[in-house]
Structure 1
């Protein structure tokens, strides 16, 4: 799976389109997603909403996993710790696979607001079972 195929998958996610997510790097167990900080994505204090930061972590973790497991994945779970408010112009989530098997990958993700770390996450994606 190459970056263009992965970008097409991102474009098929209505919520990703809504927040304006861009896949800027993909492959070899890693992925980067960026989101421009728009006013409609902010909370009442002017920072990017934690849900947007969490979305970036979740989706980037799964794209990193997809670079080794293929596109039919689901998030099995993830945790996130907010380090500081996201108040920059661009949110950038960078994820890397730290362990994988044939059906499961565990990844770490660092989320930056401009170039300042604002959150860290770890999560697991699993190959989706067809029903």
Structure 2
């Protein structure tokens, strides 16, 4: 795992602790792969419980990953007191692979809100990657954003 802010590991460790405190994130098996400097990467290993009836990764898992990655990316600039204001996901193709990687980045940040983009990438067993969806969201400061 990488702290991409250029800072020391406590930023990444803090993000990992925040994710670990989310019961739903634990349920899907999400992990923070990178965090800092207006960026965040979440990863989820695909397992049968996360698939829909045709064998593809469920769209709800993709939406969750976009939502959380976007919020983590924004939180790396606004502080930890943030919540999703909105998120939209455009599904481009069926999600097939062994790992989902959600790569989010801040497009614009003000004092109370950030706008972020996210690519949802499926990683195949052979390491090949394919973008299966894209997301955009707004994240709002809810408690002053300190810490």
Confirm or deny that 1:92 pairs with 2:101: yes
**TM-score between both structures, scaled by the size of structure 1:** 0.97
Distance (Å, rounded) in 1 between the aligned partners of 2:40 and 2:87:
16
Aligned counterpart, 1:23: 32
User: CA shift at 1:129, angstroms?
Assistant: 4.2
Distance (Å, rounded) in 2 between the aligned partners of 1:16 and 1:3:
16
The total of aligned residue pairs comes to 130
Map 1:49-128 → 2, pairs under 5 A: 49-114=58-123, 115-128=129-142
For the pair shown, the structure with the greater C-alpha radius of gyration is: 2
Distance (Å, rounded) in 1 between the aligned partners of 2:100 and 2:81:
26
Q: Please give the root-mean-square deviation of Cα atoms over the aligned residues, in Å.
A: 1.1
* Structure 1 segments unaligned to the other structure (5+ residues): none
Map 1:27-38 → 2, pairs under 5 A: 27-38=36-47
Aligned counterpart, 2:3: none
* Structure 2 segments unaligned to the other structure (5+ residues): 1-9, 124-128
